[in-house]
Chain A
């Protein structure tokens, strides 16, 4: 069975600070995909990134960066120079079924950026 743990339930930081959201996953499959989704106050989930288990390169997209470490089964998400618009609930998710998408979601981290 698959499991995704987001131990940080809520985080608050002052605007312009950096913040890292933790994600730890469990799976016995050697081939899997990891995702991050953002749920802003409007409620709709927005895709941020997909990473497969064979690609451990870190990725940077603007102020966002992701650190994938198979050795610790972690896929952490860092926001640099946070902005109020980053306030949202962020979900990490895992998939081992390709084509029959059955995402296993973490419980989410609510991030509040204080102006």
Chain B
């Protein structure tokens, strides 16, 4: 099993450019989410989805869009990149079970906005 796959692993953007971080999982997990990791701040939830066609905002959604057209894929779009979006981004997924779910994380995507 590949688990959760994120692409690209590294990306450099100029301010104002747009891009999409890709996330795919092959575990048939209903739940998928995006976190960003910044020094001294831990991980913060950006957006999440509990199934195809359903998305919702997390703690820090501004500047990001998501969609969930299939169970497997959950891309994160930056519409107009800003230096404040320089971060490491993690995609995570889990099945929906009773009780709190255990997330499986991807390897991360390091984004630098100049």
Contacts and interface: CB of A to CB of B under 8 A. Distances in A.
Same complex: yes
A91 to B, nearest CB: 6
Contact of B107 (A42, A97, A106): A42
A42 B96 CA distance: 28
- Chain B interface extent, by class: 20 to 34
Secondary structure at chain A's binding surface: helix, strand, loop or mixed?
loop
A98 B105 contact: no
Interface residues of A, number: 27
25 contacts: A33-B100, A35-B100, A43-B107, A44-B105, A44-B106, A44-B107, A45-B90, A45-B103, A47-B102, A47-B103, A50-B102, A91-B42, A95-B100, A98-B98, A98-B99, A99-B96, A99-B97, A100-B31, A100-B48, A100-B50, A100-B56, A101-B33, A101-B100, A102-B58, A103-B43
A47 to B, nearest CB: 5
A45 B105 contact: yes
